[in-house]
Amino acid sequence: MRLSELLDEVRAEAPPPRYDVDQVVAAGRRLQWRRRVAAAAAAVLTVTAVVAVPQLAGGPPPSRLTAPVAQVVPMPFTYAYDGFTAGRFRVEETHEATIDWTLNMITDVRDPDRCRMQCMLGVRATAVTDPVFQRERSRTAAEPINGRPAYWLLDREMGDLVLLWEYADDGWAFIARPNMKVEADAPMSRDEMRTVAAAFRPGSARTVPSPFRPSYLPADWRLVETRGIKGSSTAILRKVATAESMRQPTSRTISVVKPPRAADLLELVARPSGVNKTPTAEPICVKQSDGGYCRMRMPERDLDLDVRGGTALSLDELRRITLGMTVADLGKPATWTPINDAFPASAQLTVVK
């Protein structure tokens, strides 16, 4: 995504002017950083082999053993905790899920603008050992959280201060906020980050909802990320080879990897209608040097639908995807569909169950 688009997105979400230009640009870069987390995670699968027992000559035939039948099912996009309040901070309901990660915004209940687009909680559901962020600049041990290991580290790319801790056996989470030259200027203090971390508790898994219900998606594309809060939502797909490569490597380390130039990016975006409320009977499609996009205005739902694609997709394909898309009411997340049900199985990565 170009910087101009990032700035448009930040302006669309921004509160009344409170930040200077440098802070807005940094917020835009942070949005891009969150998208790169999609390259961080996936499950390591183990398939049990069934070994045949040879029959011994002259003896009775061996008893037949029935091997369990393995099922191949779509990879779930789930979250396993509710939003919660700790001190003056509120961890919002899960709004973003990637391959095996969930990300939540953190807001200051006394001053909602204080942490806006700057503070977040990330949780990894599957086991990982010796966690390392590839772009971490420094790391120091912190006091344990709920009796488990914790670390302070700096993210080299964004300059964020990160509190990384183990919340269960080989289960890790992090809280990130900007690393300020003057600590008093930070939207969360270190003690407040620890307070939020100590209050986190995992629960039962639930599937992330999505307002999108596509009736057509091109072959060989797979869902890798979903992001949605009341009023807006995004879903991202990549070509199957790229999606498979984004699964966690066998080292099982936490890594935030900058993906290659996304020629094979497919992004579905629904957001509140802009100034132009004129409905469109047909998508407005525009070719760009790095791909293109199609837009449908739906003022009766107070939303604009954008379908953006890299150079691997033609405008005809983007138009077909747009025309086949149903979008639920963005203002009523309770009406959204669990994303594994909303998207066809053919557009999802699979796991062996």
Exposure letters 246-270 (e unless 16+ CB within 10 A, then b): bbbeeeeebbbeebeebebbbbbbb
The model's pLDDT over 275-319, given as tens digits with 9 standing for 90+, comes to 777 777 789 999 998 899 999 988 777 889 999 999 999 999 999
In a domain, 54, yes or no: no
Instruction: Indicate if 123 and 195 belong to the same structural domain.
Output: yes
Domain boundary among 152, 186, 206: 206
Q: Which domain holds residue 28?
A: 1-32
Q: What is the pLDDT of residue 353?
A: 64
DSSP 270-309: EEE--S-----SS-EEEEETTEEEEEEEEGGGTEEEEEEE
Instruction: Indicate if 217 and 348 belong to the same structural domain.
Output: yes
Q: What is the pLDDT of residue 92?
A: 84
Encode the chain (353 residues) as per-residue pLDDT tens digits.
Answer: 433 343 344 334 433 444 444 444 455 555 554 544 433 333 222 222 222 222 333 444 444 445 555 567 777 777 777 889 999 999 987 777 887 678 888 999 999 888 877 899 988 766 777 677 767 788 899 999 999 999 999 877 667 899 999 998 888 899 999 988 888 899 999 999 999 999 998 877 778 889 999 999 999 999 998 887 777 899 999 999 888 877 655 444 454 444 444 688 999 999 988 777 777 778 999 999 889 999 998 877 788 999 999 999 999 999 999 999 999 998 888 899 999 999 999 999 887 76
Instruction: Indicate if 183 and 288 belong to the same structural domain.
Output: no
Number of domains comprising the chain: 3
The model's pLDDT over 152-211, given as tens digits with 9 standing for 90+, comes to 998 776 678 999 999 988 888 999 999 888 888 999 999 999 999 999 988 777 788 899
C-alpha angle 15-18-19 in degrees, rounded to nearest 5: 105
Q: What is the pLDDT of residue 299?
A: 76
Q: What is the pLDDT of residue 20?
A: 45
Place of tokens 């939540």: 104
- The CATH number for 277's domain is 3.30.200.100
Instruction: Indicate if 212 and 141 belong to the same structural domain.
Output: no
Q: How far apart are CA 212 and CA 215, in angstroms?
A: 10
Instruction: Indicate if 200 and 215 belong to the same structural domain.
Output: no
Domain boundary among 206, 237, 265: 206
